[in-house]
Structure 1
Amino acid sequence: MPKYLLLKHYRGGPEPYRPYPPLDRWAPEDVEAHMAFLREVRELLEERGEYVDAQALTPAQTWVRYGGPGAAPVTTDGPLPETTDLVAGWYMIDVESRERAIEVAAHISSEPGPGGEPLHEWIDVREVMSGAPSDDGPA
């Protein structure tokens, strides 16, 4: 079965369906409802045998690139801070098909936000490469 990484974007991606404030400005009951939903998603995926892993990420980010032979890595907080993307977390799932991965992503996108309204959050669906790239590809 193919594995998929579902990236939860709180900033970045296509235009938001409905803008909402950052999680740290939500009412405590909205945060709890949101986290309860995410726990329910995990339990559902575990019951179906599709869950591999999931993690939440902190907002702090550092971009790193190779600095050259004998040089320290080059780091920055982002190439374009005014358009900083925030990947808030991810799920790794092991499902039968891309269609099932999209179904799971759509369900995660319905997670509750402020006032209990669905976030309609964009979820980036990426298949995990299962083998070495082929030499048969385009030249």
Structure 2
Amino acid sequence: MKYLMMAYTNLAAWDEMDPASPEFIAACEFYERLGAELTASGEFVSTEGLAHPALTRVVRKGADGAVAIDGPFAETKEVAASFAIIDVASHDRALEIAARIVEALGEPIEVRPIGSGPEDSMPPVP
């Protein structure tokens, strides 16, 4: 099953990030190694970093039709930084991969199944 993994980071930390810092270089090297591992296992689908949140817009329905507004909003502390799509055998495996990223980098990872049909869009019945 395919999963979307969204990586979040602190907006202030993003703004202060130095691409030449040892921490940034170590994070890039970690992601490179993990990507190579997931490619070798056949679990890697895609990944992309996202542009600065100041460039984000949200399109909503307004009284006169669709309107684009700024977003995320100023009070937001954590912002989406990147995403990856993986294709793994189980939900547990997706969580295992996300946990490795969290342990290595400390930032939260949202793990969400990618639905293949209408039946996947509803939560499981308890």
The TM-score, its normalising length taken from structure 1, stands at: 0.73
Cα offset, 1:72, TM superposition: 4.7
1:92 aligned partner: 85
- CA 1:3–1:72 in 2, change beyond 3 Å: closer, same or farther? closer
Task: Show the counterpart of 1:81.
Answer: 74
Question: Which stretches in structure 1 are left out of the alignment for 5+ residues?
Answer: 13-19, 112-118
Distance in structure 2 (CA, Å) of the matches to 1:27 and 1:63 = 32
Alpha-carbon deviation of 1:76?
Answer: 2.1
- Partner letter of residue 74 of structure 1? A
Q: Displacement of 1:77 after TM fit?
A: 2.5
Report the counterpart of residue 125 of structure 1 in structure 2: 111
The residue correspondences of 1:42-57 to structure 2 (distance < 5 A) are 42-57=35-50
Q: How many residues in Structure 1 have an aligned counterpart in Structure 2? A: 119
Instruction: Give the root-mean-square deviation of aligned CA atoms.
Output: 2.6
Which residue in the other structure is 1:16 paired with? none
Contact kept, 8 Å, 1:59 with 1:86, in 2: the verdict is no
The Cα of 1:27 is off from its aligned counterpart by: 5.5
Query: Would the alpha carbon gap of residues 81 and 21 (structure 1) be closer, same or farther in structure 2, given more than 3 Å must change?
Result: closer
Greater helix fraction, Structure 1 or Structure 2: 2
Distance (Å, rounded) in 1 between the aligned partners of 2:24 and 2:77: 23
Which structure shows the higher strand fraction? 2
User: In the aligned structure 2, how far is the partner of 1:67 from the partner of 1:88?
Assistant: 28
Q: 1:133: how far off?
A: 3.4
- SS in structure 2 opposite 1:21? helix
- Higher Rg of the two aligned structures: 1
Whole-Å separation in 2 of the counterparts to 1:68 and 1:47: 50
The sequence identity of aligned pairs, in percent, is: 29
